[in-house]
Amino acid sequence: MEHVLEVKNLHKSFKTGFIPQKKKVLQGITFQVSEGEIFGYLGPNGAGKTTTLKCILGIIYPEEGEIRLFGLPHTSLEAKKKIGFLPENPYFYEYLTASEFLRFYGQLFGLSPAQREKKISALLQLVGLTHASDIQLRKFSRGMLQRIGLAQALINEPSLVFLDEPLGGLDPLGRKEMRDIILRLREEGKTVFLCSHILQDIEMICDRVAIIVKGRIIDQGKLQDLVSEKILFYEAVISGLPASLVKDLGECMAAEGGRLLLKVEGEEKIKDLMKVVLEQGGNLHSLTPRTATLEDLFVDLVRQG
Amino acid sequence: MKIRAVALNTFREAIRDRILYLLIFFAAIGIIFSRFLALLTVGDRVKIIKDVGLASISLFGMLIAILIGTGLVYKEIDKKTIFTLMAKPIHRYQFLLGKYLGLLLTLLVIIILMSLIFLFLIFGHTLTIEWNLLVAILFIFLELCVLTAVAILFSCFTTPILSSLYSLAFYLIGHLSWGMETIIKKTKPGLGRTLLRILYIILPDLENFNFKTEVVHNLPIPGEIYLQSFLYGLFYSLFLLVLAMIIFQRRDFV
């Protein structure tokens, strides 16, 4: 599969403080994004996600390293014609109405008036803002701004869409709709670069992820390769037995209303537990295998990093 | 096409800014006030109306150029609207040029509006349309082209308050620098005089655009003076814009 984005050895630092001191924000970032995938760029707050994105989009200049979009230098207008970008917080021209706003961006891509108008009405419909087309953006709620932001990111039918925290500020329904739109983009053959610190978003929709901590990528790959499907332990809920009887079989994590929640490791111990429950006349209410989640991996890596 | 889109967007931004209407209101008051001032004057009342009217157009044009111009680029950076824009296929210089031309378009519309009020007022007195007054107004507009370029240059790297102060200082220096010619003449030849001459060349001379007295008093002006002033305004604006583009091209938008 062809790479639509290649980032090699990216370095960036900022000067901060009264007596300016260099703070390294990116320290040798390298990754590739393949055509047609949803790539999750994951990291805690302040890890360097948005800085990486700003470098890719030419908003700031990297000190070192190379960025190529569709095989072209990232600052070339040819490359920028094929990308869309939704920033983290929706910063837009508040004095424009929704349709004026989209018209302005359409003009920057050189769309003809007929193409523009057709596209504007389709996009407003896609993001559910047809009713608000003549309302100034200053009167928009945060969720509406996020939607109009997505619409402007898609005005040029981009092949690669950069979304910075796209689900932030949305209500549960809005989040679901945004996820559906992102998945639809993939179905249409577009590549999506998704920056987020919300793990559920990434886990639900991304094909591959890179995890950035303190300006370095500490792990990257396919989600299923990173998050092993191996069962770590079982959670068993039993009742009718005293805790002392099962204390050797598993760690008692909670006890409430005569029920015990046990953390049982290994299949042998499960067999033993079932035997005890049957012999002593207890009840087994549930037995849940727990596999590693992206959250487990993320927490481990951030702690190590 | 892209420069045009940014310029029209800037124009839209400016005409939806409340500060503009406040300034237009005071400008109109200033021009109309000249009529009342004339009543208190002994002598040629029309000259007073012309003098005060032209001064109002110049003063309020300057205020609009500085107050709106210094915020134009800064606001884009401060409100982070520049992030989405820089991800679009547009060169940074195209953006800056669009901003500049957008404000010039705003100023042009306002100057035309003020000129109409002004000419109408004069017409009420003389019953003739004094087209020669437009020469003075044209050069006021040229001065505003330079001032807008200054405001945008400062707006590229500092806050609107500081930019306004610097631009105002530029305006004052520009109208006082002609006095340096006398100082240079009175200085003994040597290093001091050379340095003063260099400083005089670098500093703006906005009096080059001041044809108010000549026009009001119908004094003859040779054509080459007009041409010289026009070229001065053109090249000074270009110089400032290129400087602004270099700064804007290099900076990070954090």
Query: Is the residue at A265 inside a domain?
Result: yes
Cross-chain Cβ contact B1/A107 below 8 Å: yes
Do residues A28 and A168 both lie within one domain? yes
| Secondary structure letter of residue A97 according to DSSP | B
Q: What is the mean pLDDT of residues B217-236?
A: 88
CA distance B39 to B90: 55
Q: Which of A184, A205, A225 is the last residue of a domain?
A: A225
- Using a CB–CB cutoff of 8 Å, tell me whether A13 touches chain B: no
Runs of H (alpha helix) within chain A: 49-57, 77-80, 98-108, 113-126, 142-153, 172-187, 199-205, 223-226, 243-246, 267-280, 294-304
Q: Which residue has the higher pLDDT, B79 or B18?
A: B79
Q: Tell me the three state secondary structure of residue A48.
A: coil
Cross-chain Cβ contact A85/B16 below 8 Å: no
Query: Is the residue at A218 inside a domain?
Result: yes
Do residues A104 and A249 both lie within one domain? no
| pLDDT for res A305 | 63
> Do A220 and A209 form a contact (C-beta atoms < 8 A)?
yes
Cross-chain Cβ contact A83/B87 below 8 Å: yes
CATH number at A250 reads: 3.30.70
Q: What is the mean pLDDT of residues A261-268?
A: 88
- Using a CB–CB cutoff of 8 Å, tell me whether A57 touches chain B: yes
Give the domain extent around A67: 3-225
| Secondary structure letter of residue B253 according to DSSP | -
Q: What is the mean pLDDT of residues B230-245?
A: 94
Q: What is the mean pLDDT of residues B17-38?
A: 80
Do residues A130 and A242 both lie within one domain? no
Query: Is the residue at A54 inside a domain?
Result: yes
| pLDDT for res A229 | 62
Statement: residue A298 has pLDDT above 80: no
Do residues A280 and A220 both lie within one domain? no
**How confident is residue B124, by pLDDT bands cut at 50, 70 and 90?**
confident
| pLDDT for res A141 | 86
| pLDDT for res B44 | 77
Query: Is the residue at A99 inside a domain?
Result: yes
Runs of H (alpha helix) within chain B: 2-15, 18-39, 45-78, 81-86, 92-126, 133-155, 160-176, 180-186, 191-202, 212-216, 223-250
Query: Is the residue at A30 inside a domain?
Result: yes
Identify residue A102 by its one-letter amino acid code: L
Cross-chain Cβ contact B253/A60 below 8 Å: yes
Q: Percent of chain A beyond pLDDT 90?
A: 42
Query: Is the residue at A258 inside a domain?
Result: yes
Place of tokens 């001091």: B192
| pLDDT for res A91 | 76
Query: Is the residue at A156 inside a domain?
Result: yes
Query: Is the residue at A158 inside a domain?
Result: yes
Cross-chain Cβ contact B2/A108 below 8 Å: yes
Cα-flanking dihedrals φ and ψ of residue A71, to 5°?
80, 0
**For the segment B167-178, what is each residue's pLDDT rounded down to a tens digit?**
999 999 999 888
Statement: residue B240 has pLDDT above 70: yes
Q: CA of A303 to nearest chain B CA: how many angstroms apart?
A: 28
Statement: residue A228 has pLDDT above 70: no
- Using a CB–CB cutoff of 8 Å, tell me whether B82 touches chain A: yes
Chain B hits for A81, CB-CB cut-off 8 Å, are 89
- For A15, residues 6+ apart whose C-beta sits below 8 A from its C-beta are A21, A22, A23
- pTM, 2 dp: 0.83
Number of structural domains found in chain B: 1
> Do A255 and A243 form a contact (C-beta atoms < 8 A)?
yes
The chain A residue lying nearest B7, using CA atoms, is A104
Q: Which residue has the higher pLDDT, B129 or A125?
A: A125
Q: What is the mean pLDDT of residues A198-222?
A: 85
| pLDDT for res B6 | 94
Q: CA of A102 to nearest chain B CA: how many angstroms apart?
A: 12
Q: What is the mean pLDDT of residues A284-288?
A: 89
Tokens representing A129 are 């803002």
**For the segment A7-36, what is each residue's pLDDT rounded down to a tens digit?**
999 999 988 877 888 889 899 999 999 999
Give the domain extent around B189: 2-250
Do residues A171 and A247 both lie within one domain? no
CA distance A114 to B116: 37
CA distance A220 to B143: 58
**How confident is residue B234, by pLDDT bands cut at 50, 70 and 90?**
very high
Q: CA of B64 to nearest chain A CA: how many angstroms apart?
A: 19
| pLDDT for res B121 | 84
Q: Tell me the three state secondary structure of residue B131.
A: coil
> Do B143 and B237 form a contact (C-beta atoms < 8 A)?
no
- Using a CB–CB cutoff of 8 Å, tell me whether B81 touches chain A: yes
> Do A287 and A236 form a contact (C-beta atoms < 8 A)?
yes
Number of structural domains found in chain A: 2
Do residues A72 and A219 both lie within one domain? yes
Do residues A164 and A248 both lie within one domain? no
Cross-chain Cβ contact B2/A95 below 8 Å: no
Q: Which of A167, A191, A225 is the last residue of a domain?
A: A225
Q: Percent of chain A beyond pLDDT 70?
A: 98
In whole numbers, what is the pLDDT of chain A averaged over residues? 88
**How confident is residue A247, by pLDDT bands cut at 50, 70 and 90?**
confident
| Secondary structure letter of residue B188 according to DSSP | P
CA distance A162 to A129: 21
- Using a CB–CB cutoff of 8 Å, tell me whether A104 touches chain B: yes
Q: Percent of chain B beyond pLDDT 70?
A: 100
Q: What is the mean pLDDT of residues A79-101?
A: 89
- Using a CB–CB cutoff of 8 Å, tell me whether B9 touches chain A: yes
Q: Can you tell me the ipTM of this complex? A: 0.81
Q: What is the mean pLDDT of residues B204-233?
A: 86
Statement: residue A249 has pLDDT above 80: yes
Do residues A197 and A237 both lie within one domain? no
Do residues A9 and A104 both lie within one domain? yes
Q: Which of A172, A201, A225 is the last residue of a domain?
A: A225
Statement: residue A74 has pLDDT above 80: yes
| pLDDT for res A155 | 93
Burial A115-139 (b: 16+ CB within 10 A, else e): ebeebbeebbebbebeebbeebbee
Do residues A209 and A284 both lie within one domain? no
Q: What is the biggest distance separating any 2 CA atoms in chain A, rounded to whole angstroms?
A: 79
Do residues A235 and A249 both lie within one domain? yes
Do residues A218 and A257 both lie within one domain? no
